[in-house]
Amino acid sequence: MTAPVIFSVNNDIGIISIDYPPVNALSQSVRQGLIDGVIKFENDDSIKAIIIRCKKRTFIAGADIKEFANAPLEPHLPDVVNRIEACTKPVIASLFGTSLGGGFEVALACHYRVALETTKVGLPEVNLGLIPGAGGTQRLPRMVGVKKAMEMITSGVHYSVNNFSSTDLFDCIFSSDENLDESTLRFVEELVTTGKITLSKVGEKTIVNDIDNWKQTLSLINKKSRGKEAPNIAARILQKSLGLNIAEGMALERREFLKLKESEQSAALRFAFGAERLASKTEFTATPLEVKNVGIIGGGTMGSGIATVFLSSGFNVKLVEQNEEALATGRERIEGNFESNVKRGRISQDQANSYLASLTTSIDYQSLSESDLVIEVVFENMEVKKTIFRQLDQVCKPECILATNTSYLDIDEIASVVTDPSRVIGMHFFSPANIMKLLEVVQAKKSSEQALLTAMAVAKKLKKISVMVGVCFGFAGNRMYTRYGREVQQMLLEGAKVAQIDDALTGWGMAMGQLAVSDMSGLDIGYHARSSVSAPKYDRGYFKPAELMFKLGRYGRKTSKGYYQYDENGKASNDPLVDQLISEKAEELGFIQKEFSDDEISQRAILALISEGLQLLKDGIVKRASDIDVIWLHGYGFPRHKGGPMFQAKQMGKNKLELQFEKLRQLESVEIWPEVDLSLVL
């Protein structure tokens, strides 16, 4: 194996090259290599300047996340960056790709920074529950002012280097068609030969305090961070650093960094980072098919959302509807989606026009004959879906993958009407499809490896996170969501109030309360979905409050009344009548009402998720516990800094889980809280 850091010389310039795939992360060996390179060239009298560059896909993308689980190894990154800054010969960082976290901190410690114009830089540590740990909170404000540094550090967003053209952060930005290595070398040679090269140290500058109202800034960051501690800690460090020199500031930063590294939030966020990347990995080895032409059947909200996603990712889309009128409405919806993206500044009008140029429409299934992938997105009716798949079987080319976007229905049954069921899979998008990142790729009994891997590869192009799941009612996500909803319903019957439940769940970290979500998605939709399967006999209160709302015509937002009432501007307020009606229903069903604490509510809802997640693992619907977490993080607004329901199970540990489940079994029954194999997750 070649060394991850190698040294070479070009005339009087020393070059330190990092080659540590996939993203040149700062592992111990890379850190050591950087120190060795600096010392080697510093001691070589023939060398006038040193370039730090990277090979392959990117400049250093950060500290090596894999090392965070263990005790830090020497040389520590703060010492490495300080050694670079202290070098007696000018060091130049040559950036491309994504220079993030520790990578950007290395660049900030160099005496010069040059970059290709396509480079992105950032300090995304907060996304891992951390703060920059190698001078980022100190050197960045010295270069761009504390206001911009605050924005970058507390948001974790990656910025194009072009954002900094009015600052001294970059000494030269090369156009994307230039050869970075050659341009960097020319830039350095010029400085050396003209004698203009200096040893300007970022750490010796003073921080410009360009924030007028600190109180307001800190409170805004607190609001935006929604329970995440790292952005708040970073903000306070930036404030405290105003009067400190670089050594004092870095000592403060390091203390907080090391504390956060041991925190539960950081463990959860680092876990989420790994789980997302693992989700797309399978044991399958087939080669995915090339997909260019995609057919979408159904131009409703979901179908047009899916079409928008495909068009935005460069696919040709053929939208098929039952008649010209529905087709026109579908097209309008897609155009509306692009229009809104233009209004929000996400894309330009020219981009929108070019995407729309790849959209064609038809009412004739025959028009799908050249499609590589067809996704059926019509309403949830088995017979309708089977009729569509029979037609697809006739018109589509044999290798075309046939996917259904059903949320609940049995894909094996749908596949049974097709001559070759191996090409039938589920592609379950989440609503709104052009926003939500999750895609459940559903493996039916006869789905081929190739069809599944093609869907996963397509998902990657769509910038979605795909998770492979098996067939059952609701697949993984909605099956768990049903169980979660059931628990909320049960707590309503046992005496918890509508607003209290939602407040307890959002207070715990969920993006929305379960009852507010039901109102948004429509109580009629949930009612009809549940009607297609029989209610469990042992569960006497099964979705009774929801049924009550449905029977009263309270479908949620669409009827201005559901669990909440809505004014003409859509603003929700509590409706005391609902709590009263539920309480009467509970009495009629023989429930004894009691007071709930917020903790009890959130814990019970999470335990329901864990219980169902364990059943999914046992049934083989999901292969990895971490896949369940990815589904919940990206499909259901589970707080990322809590890792996901199965991560929570691990945090609770065997004893606590067993005790809690046993209590609930006593309260309800073993059918509702079945015995579970905790080894599947612990």
Active site amino acids? 105, 125
Q: Shortest gap between Cβ of 269 and ligand 3HC (angstroms)?
A: 10
Contact residue for ligand 3HC among 128, 237, 418, 515 (CB under 6 A): 128
Would you list the DSSP string of 426-483? EEEE-SSTTT--EEEEEE-TT--HHHHHHHHHHHHHTTPEEEEEE-STTTTHHHHHHH
Angle 13-15-16 from CA coordinates, rounded to 5°: 150
Q: How far is the CB of 57 from ligand 3HC (least distance, A)?
A: 7
Binding of ligand 3HC by 513 (CB under 6 A): no
- State the CB neighbour count (10 A cutoff) for residue 383: 7
Q: How many CB atoms lie within 10 A of CB 576?
A: 11
105 part of the interface to ligand 3HC, by CB under 6 A: yes
Give the closest residue to 82 by CA, choosing from 250, 240, 208, 237: 250
| Count of residues making up the chain | 682
Q: Does 477 bind ligand 3HC (CB under 6 A)?
A: no
Q: Is 18 among the residues that bind ligand 3HC (CB under 6 A)?
A: no
Closer residue to ligand 3HC, CB minimum distance, 274 or 553 = 274
Residues 277-296 contacting ligand 3HC, CB under 6 A: 277
Residue 167 C-beta: closest distance to ligand 3HC, Å: 21
- CB of 367 vs ligand 3HC, minimal distance in Å: 35
Residue 133 phi/psi, 5-degree rounding, is: -120, 5
Q: Using CB under 6 A, pick the residue from 1, 2, 22, 344 that binds ligand 3HC.
A: 22
Least distance CB 277 / ligand 3HC (angstroms)? 4
Q: Is 238 among the residues that bind ligand 3HC (CB under 6 A)? A: no
Residue 105 or 579: which CB sits closer to ligand 3HC? 105
- The total of other beta-carbon atoms located within 10 Å of residue 8's CB is 10
* Cα–Cα distance, 352 to 506 (Å, whole number): 36
Among 51, 54, 61, 605, binds ligand 3HC (CB under 6 A): 61
Closest separation in Å from C-beta 16 to ligand 3HC: 19
Locus of tokens 């919940």 = 632
Considering only 33, 116, 125, 173, the residue that binds ligand 3HC (CB under 6 A) is 125
Q: Which is nearer to ligand 3HC, 14 or 124 (CB)?
A: 124
- Based on the shown chain and the rule CB under 6 A, indicate whether residue 132 belongs to the binding site for ligand 3HC: yes
- 112 within 8 A of 81, measured Cβ to Cβ: no
Query: Which of 5, 16, 25, 211: binder of ligand 3HC (CB under 6 A)?
Result: 25
Among the listed residues 33, 90, 129, 133, the single contact to ligand 3HC using CB under 6 A:
133
Peptide bond into 90 cis (omega under 30): no
Q: Where are the alpha helices (DSSP H) in 264-323?
A: 264-279, 301-312
Burial of 359 by CB count in 10 Å (0-12 exposed, 13-18 middle, 19+ buried)?
Answer: buried
102 binds ligand 3HC (CB under 6 A): yes
| Binding status of residue 98 toward ligand 3HC by CB under 6 A | yes
> Quick check: 129 binds ligand 3HC (CB under 6 A)?
no
With binding defined as CB under 6 A, does residue 66 bind ligand 3HC? Answer: yes
Is the preceding peptide bond at 231 cis, omega within 30 degrees of 0? no
Given 49, 50, 87, 100, the residue binding ligand 3HC (CB under 6 A):
100
CA of 566: how far to CAs of 149, 402, 485, 569, 662, in Å?
41, 40, 21, 8, 40
Least Cβ distance, residue 152 to ligand 3HC (angstroms): 13
Q: What is the DSSP letter of 511?
A: S
- Told to check if 80 binds ligand 3HC by CB under 6 A, we report no
Nearer to ligand 3HC, 124 or 644 (CB): 124
Question: Please, which of residues 135-174 interact with ligand 3HC by CB under 6 A?
Answer: 136
Q: List strands edge to edge, sheet with 120-122.
A: 98-100, 120-122, 159-160
Give residues in contact with ligand 3HC (CB under 6 A): 22-23, 25, 61-66, 77, 98, 100-102, 105, 124-125, 128, 130, 132-134, 136, 277
